[in-house]
Each structure stands twice: as C-alpha cells, then as structure tokens.
Structure 1
Amino acid sequence: MSSKRSQSADLAQAGLAARRVAVDILESVTDRGRRLEDVLESALNAGAASALIAKDRALVRAIVGTALRRKGQITDALGRLMKSRPPAKAHRLDHILAVGAAQILFMDVPDHAAVSLAVTQAVAEPRLRPFKNLVNGVLRNLGRQRDAILSGQDAERLNTPDWLWQRWEKAYGPENARRFAAMHALEPSLDITVRSDPGGWAERLGAAVLPTGSLRLIPSGPIDRLDGFAEGAWWVQDAAAALPARLLGDIAGKRVADLCAAPGGKTAQLAAAGANVTAVDISAARLKRVEENLARLGLGAEIVAADLTDWTPEAPFDAILLDAPCSATGTVRRHPDLPWRRSGTEIESLAALQAEMLRQALSWLKPGGEIVYCTCSLEPEEGEAQVARALQEMPGLERRPIEAGEIGGLADLVTADGDLRTLPCHLSSAEARLSGLDGFFAARLRRP
C-alpha cells in the first residue's frame, strides 16, 4: 500500500511540476513578449523541470501550444465565468487559469486533475492563495459548462487577434481569413527534406511523400531519435520553406549566396545540390546552429556573420537566395505565440528593410544571374509589393515566372504574375493534421 501511495505522490508531483513550467512559459511569452522557441527548451532544462520524464515534457509542450492556439477561446470562456479580473499583483493567476482551461476545454486530461493541480499551484504562491476558491470555482464551472460555451463561440475569430484578422480579410477575403485561422488551431505535422530516396525514407519513417518532394509525418517521441537523424539523412523543414531554394534550378558548381541563412534548411538544400554556398546571417548564435546542422548532414558552406546592410561580398554571385527578415505571419501554424507578441506596427519598418536588402542583393549578382526573394509572411507589403518596387526601380530587371512543374504540379500555389504564394490552407488532406503549409511568398528575378 505504501508503495502505491509513494508512486501516486510521485505522479502528482510530476504533474504539478509540468503545470508550473507551463505557467512560467506562458508568463514569459504573453507578459514579457519572449519567443516561445527561445523560452521552451530553457524552461524545460532548468531547475526541477530538468528532471521531468519525456512524457511530462511532452505534456508541457502540449499545454502551452494549446493555450496559445486557443488563447482567444480560453480568454472568452474564462471571462464568461468571472465577474471581475484579479488584481495586477495576482497576474500569474491568469496563466494558472489558462493552463487549467486548456486542459479542460481541449485536452484529454481529467477535469478533476486539471482543477486540483491549478488550486495547488495557487495555494503554493502567497499572493495567489486568497484566490484558491476562485480558481476552484471557475474551473469546476468551466468543466460543467464546457459544451455550451464551446458551441457558442466563433473559434476562428476569437483565436485571431484583431490586427491580424483585419489584414487577412483585406488581402485574402473573409473566407480565407477563416480558413487560415482554422489551420492555426491545429498542431502541425512534421515536414522533412531528405538528401535522397524520399520513397525509401517515407517507408522507414511512416511518412507521406508530398507532391513537392518533402516528407510529412506525425512524429511520436523526440525528433532527434527518429531513424536517419543522427546519420544526417534528412533535416526538418516545412514543405513551403523548402520550395524557394528549388527555384534556382541547377546550381551545381555555382557560387550561391544564402542571405539571412539561419536556421539553415535552405543552406543545406543549396549545398546538397552541389553549390558553393556562402551563408550570411546577422546572428552569430544562430549561425552556430547552422554549422552544427551542416556538420551532422555532412555538408559544407562558408559561414559569414554580418549585417547585410553593412556587408559587401568579395565577388559577385551566380545566384542568390534572399529569405528576408519579415513579420513571419505565415508561420503561425508552427509559432502560435507570434500573433500575441506582435501588433502589426512593425510591418512598415520591416518592409523598408526588405527593400534595402533586395536592392543590395541585386547589386551582388553577376549579369544574367538570378535571385529568389522570399519571405515567410502573408502580408502583401512584404512580398508582392517588394517585387513590384524592384521591377520598377531597376531597368532591365525581369521576373522569371515560376511554373507549376517546378513545385510538384501545384498550380494553385502560383500567382497570376508567376510568383509563389503558399497559404496555411493549401495542401489539404483527409486527415486535418496532415494538411496545410506555412505561408510563403517567393519571386524569381533575373538581373540584366
């Protein structure tokens, strides 16, 4: 009996630790504006959290992801059950309630466990202790009223901040804005780019081969433990992000620049295609990861840490891939924190930076050389408008239209102007989690 009690206590303690880490992460992201990808691993490897087993670490990721993807619904649901918000000094209560609500509304976690652990967290913090009954009452009521609340919500609209929804309605129409939001509510699949033999690796990994050549699967367990990772047979890369590098065509033996190269998926593609690659990025820390990935893959590239606005290559390039810094609104599927950390006010300054970078990059091309300009943004100012401006500014610069055959025959990804425009709702599948793409724009330009 004592052994069973001890085991039960250990499980409860691990469950509490997982919820505490989830609360800490949400606080860092939503209150301090830190990026989820920067916070997640450091939080899981610090203090008591470092002792969590793989199952509990996965639970932390699931809770945080759900709380952010469904943030609007959770806020609305809790607001219906609370007469007033807690005082500012008890701001962590918002995150404790959000963690509890995410489990009760959207996860396969017993309601009583979610409620009990949330109350325990409140009791453990002196400032929050007076609100333990509030936590208990609100979350219990949430469990009782779950179905009624969810059926009365406009999920897509609630889970998309106003600034983003209004932009997407204007650029793509209300129906597409709703389709984007529906995809963002789902945890995305894992896409990988293989060095060779996609069919063979698809069979080994239980993956599907997409029309574009990427492999897609729903992983179980850590990515670095999947077959082929250690031997460098493949790397993680969204299927949309893998398309721009392919638009440069046969680059074997050519001198090619990958500008704004981190995290390095495109650098790996270019190197694997036989190019002599110069990978440039402003972040030395992120370039360190690029080097590590290239080493694992057995690929090489010249690595340069530099600000593109204050850098000049020693000689012009045959081809350039410029993945310009952007608002990254096309990556919400994989970065659910992004809409809540931004307001859209940065897009104007980013567009000015993109224009400067594209102007500079075009000057680094040999005559007749080609550049693929791309951004992982859904905002026209960061895509179509940049190319229109460049074509107007540089006499003789011409667009080389993209053909559907270059991207797996997916004609709906090619715009009327011949550019690439992928949307979160593209590449639909019978299984929802195997659907979707990151939102990308890419255009291919040839210098006179």
Structure 2
Amino acid sequence: MTRRRPIRNLGSGPGWRRRRAEAPLTAHAKVRESAAFVLERTLDSRAPASTFLDGALERCDPRDHGLLRELVLGTLRWLRFIDHVLVSASGRPLSRIQRALLAPLRIAVYQLFFLDRVPAHAAVNEAVEQAAGRTHAGGASFVNGVLRRIARSPRRDAWPVEEGDPAVRLGILHSHPDLLVERWLRTYGEKRTIAILTANNRPKPLHLLAFRERGGRAPLAEQLIDDDVGVEPSVLAPHCLTVRWGNPLFSEAYRRGAFYVQDEASQLAAIVPPPAPRERVLDVAAAPGGKTFALLADQPDAYCVATDLSLERLHTMRRNSARLALAPLLCAADGAALPFRDGFDRVVVDLPCSGTGTLRKHPELKWRISAAEIDRLAEQAGSLVRGAADCVRPGGLLVVVTCSIEPEENEDVVSAFLESRSDFDLRDLSADLRRPAADHVEASGLWRLLPAEGHDGFTVQTLQRAAG
C-alpha cells in the first residue's frame, strides 16, 4: 500500500508526479475529476451544462450521480462569489491563477462553503491531489495554501464585499452578473430582486405532472411510495407533485408512463387560462412536449396539434408521448410560417428567450446573457407571435409564454404586435383564474410567476381575437 504523504512533503521532481499519477483514484476523486471536466467545458463553450454533464453521468457510478450534479450545478450557481473568495484568499486576480487550477479550486471552495458531506480537510487534500495531477508541485502547494486559508472561515460573512455600488455588491454576494441585478432592481425593486437572487441559488426540486384522467395526484403518490419515492402535493399547480426523496425515474410508475417530469411553474403556465373541454389547441414550438402534456393532463379531451421546427426535438416529443400514452398530432413547421389558418380555439406559442426564469436549473445561462442577446431574442420572438396569430379563430385565444422575466422579451414583444394587429386585444384574466394562480396576475392579460423557493419563473400573456 502506498503511504499517503502530507502536502508539506511534496517533492518537485518528475519522479514524484509519476508516482502520484500511478496511484488509483478514489471514487470521490473520480467524481471531482468529472465535475472539473464538465465545469471547464461548460464555461469554455456556449453549450448547456447538460451537454457535458449527461455524458459524465453515464460514466459515473449511479450512487455518485447526486454528488456530481451538485458539484457542477452548485459551483456554476455560486461562481462569482467563489471567485471573489479565491481572489481575496490568494491575493491574486483570477487572470494570474493558473488556468488548470481554477476548476479544482472552484469546486473545493463550493464544497467548503455549501456542502458538509465531505470534511473540510478531505476537500482540501483531494483538491491538492487533483492539482498535482494537472500542474507542477508549486501549483499544488498554491492550492493547498489558498484552500487552507479559506477552510479556516468557510462562511459567507467572513469574506465581505467592499463595494459601494449596490448592484455590484448584490451581484457578488448572490453570485449573479451585474447586468441582471441592475435590470431586476429597476423592474422589481430591491426586495423582490433579492428574493429572485436567493431562489436562483437554491437547488431545484423535482416536480412531476400527474394526469387527471388517470386519477390525478393521489393514486400516483401511492404508486411512488411503493417504489420508495416520497412526494407531496405542490401548492400552485393542480396536477403537480413535489419529490421529497427517492428517484422517480427508476420507478415502475415512470416505466408505465404515469407522470411527466416538469417544473411546477411550467405546468401552471401551460393552463393560464384554464382550457375548456374539447378545445382545439395549437402548440407552437412545442417540443419536447411540456405545454401539450400539461394541457392534456388538465383537459384530456382537448385536440392538440404540436409543431416544432426541430425534427430532433419532435422525435423526443414523440418518444415522450408514446411513454405517456398520449397522441397529440405532431407537425414539423416553422412557427413564423405555419401551414394553418384561423382554425384553433387556443394557440400557445413558446417564445425563444434568455431563460432568466430558469437560472436555478440552468445556472450557466446567467454567465452568458447580454443585452444584445436579449434584444436579438425579442426580435425573433416577434416573428413567432405574428406567425401564430393567423391560426387563432375569431374569438379564440393567443397565449404567449416565456421562461423569461424580462419585459423586453414579454410585454414589449406583445405591445409591438398589438400595434400592428387591431383584431387582437389583451384578455382580462381576473375571471379566469382562482387563487393561488390569480395572485400572479400583474395587469390585464399579463400573468407572471417570479422564481421562488419551489419553482422557476414564467411569464404568460393572453390575447383574444375579435369575434367578427
């Protein structure tokens, strides 16, 4: 057995590095290596974190899946605060820290501050071992010194932010870019902004969509208990269960197609306002199917046509529909030039957007958003609204949905559309919704749910076409 040496006895010659490289990695060290790989690739690209995380999970022991997800997504959520601590503890700007050391350092700092399942000394030692495999002994010694300094006070209040600008201070403390903090302070005020920032940094619970035609939530909860999955009814969405323990994706109920995994806010947004029996619904940009499935969960006799431009995403929706034993009509079509005309009672269009309501699920997005990107997406969204409008029958509804909380991607898009279409007007939602959904009506035709402890953020705008 190879004796484990303390870091102070590290040698600097190549022989030491060869001996360390030959030592087998522990299971936890393998998880850290995978997490570092996913973190680096995500930050170096525009691809979703899931692009790299899903592949890493396939190569990982299923017992370590939870830890791997936590290390990657938690580090991405807290990236800016973590970097603030690293700069303070090292006395160096990030640009002067060796690039190969950043991922091990960031992951270790996340563990020290936010995870208690691994003792601090173990988190430090594992990061040092990881650094030693990536660089010279001097780099490993640097990691050791920085992390031991941080490990003495792994509390957020021990690393104060000396910044006079309120937006910058909040951005560092809550690990968000200045752009978003400034925008939300202007739009929502300080109290609501802090609530959004806090919610975005919490792990996202798993929500399940149950189907009314199959008995709804109660029988599904009983089925899941048999598979050691604990759930409870969600507060907002009427067909939603929140998972409290266990993995429902390994359950017999999942294999039977008894539920669909969908955030509570997304479920509720799909049925604002509630669908009527036997409605003819066109779901634009529908894949992978969440809005259609939520509508069918609420009104199983609705006739749903789902369109999407991506054949790959439609194929995913077809697989999801088959597992759930649902049969919406799927159609490949460009939302800006749909092959239908005014035959639908309700047209739901899911606009391309920045996704600022889903940052807890996709934390990498907040480090990529720019004002120019928001403007580009808003312009693209306008063409989809115009294309979808002609499919609404006289007297029917045009429901515009985003997972963004930015006015430019929501109210501004619809306002521009209404200026060009006198046959549409905002529909008053006050008579359509009951509490708690009704509590989130902000103005005529405007429903918005901001990110909170248990759910994502969504915006829905409902327009009605003139009857004559």
**TM-score interval (norm. to shorter):** 0.7 to 0.9
Q: Unpaired segments of 5 or more residues in structure 2?
A: 3-21, 162-168
Where do residues 48-447 of structure 1 align in structure 2 (5 Å cutoff)? Answer: 50=59, 52-85=60-93, 90-108=98-116, 109-125=118-134, 127=135, 129-147=137-155, 150=158, 152-153=160-161, 157-158=172-173, 159-196=175-212, 197-202=216-221, 204=225, 205-226=230-251, 228-247=253-272, 249-272=274-297, 273=299, 274-313=301-340, 316-403=343-430, 406-425=433-452, 435-447=453-465
Q: TM-score, normalised by structure 2?
A: 0.84
Query: What amino acid is aligned across from residue 140 of structure 2 in structure 1?
Result: K
Name 2:57's counterpart in structure 1.
44
Aligned-residue offset at 1:84 = 2.4
Q: 1:351-372 CA deviation, whole Å, 9 max, x = no partner? A: 1111111111111222222111
Does the CA-based 8 Å contact 1:254-1:276 persist in structure 2? yes
Query: What amino acid is aligned across from residue 237 of structure 1 in structure 2?
Result: Q
Structure 1 CA distance for aligned equivalents of residues 191 and 251 of structure 2? 38
Query: What amino acid is aligned across from residue 86 of structure 2 in structure 1?
Result: L
1:442–1:86 distance in 2 versus 1, CA, 3 Å: closer
Is the deviation greater in 144-153 or in 315-324? 144-153
Query: What amino acid is aligned across from residue 53 of structure 2 in structure 1?
Result: L
1:355–1:155 distance in 2 versus 1, CA, 3 Å: closer
Does the CA-based 8 Å contact 1:377-1:439 persist in structure 2? yes
Q: 1:124-156 CA deviation, whole Å, 9 max, x = no partner? A: 12x455401001111111101323754635676
Does the CA-based 8 Å contact 1:29-1:341 persist in structure 2? no
Is the deviation greater in 85-94 or in 241-250? 85-94
Is the deviation greater in 402-411 or in 266-275? 402-411
Q: Give the secondary structure class of the aligned counterpart of 1:278.
A: strand
Q: TM-score, normalised by structure 1?
A: 0.88
Q: 1:228-255 CA deviation, whole Å, 9 max, x = no partner? A: 2222121111121112332354454443
Does the CA-based 8 Å contact 1:93-1:128 persist in structure 2? no
Aligned-residue offset at 1:221 = 4.2
Does the CA-based 8 Å contact 1:189-1:216 persist in structure 2? no
Q: Unpaired segments of 5 or more residues in structure 1?
A: 3-8, 426-434
Q: Give the secondary structure class of the aligned counterpart of 2:91.
A: coil
Does the CA-based 8 Å contact 1:212-1:408 persist in structure 2? no
1:128–1:64 distance in 2 versus 1, CA, 3 Å: farther
Q: 1:331-389 CA deviation, whole Å, 9 max, x = no partner? A: 11211111012223211111111111111111122222211111110100111222222
Q: Give the secondary structure class of the aligned counterpart of 2:155.
A: helix
Structure 1 CA distance for aligned equivalents of residues 432 and 357 of structure 2? 23
Does the CA-based 8 Å contact 1:30-1:341 persist in structure 2? no
After superposition, the CA RMSD in angstroms is 2.6
Structure 1 CA distance for aligned equivalents of residues 53 and 136 of structure 2? 24
Structure 1 CA distance for aligned equivalents of residues 41 and 411 of structure 2? 34
Aligned-residue offset at 1:180 = 0.4
1:31 aligned residue (24, 44, 47): 44
Query: What amino acid is aligned across from residue 25 of structure 1 in structure 2?
Result: V
Aligned-residue offset at 1:17 = 0.8
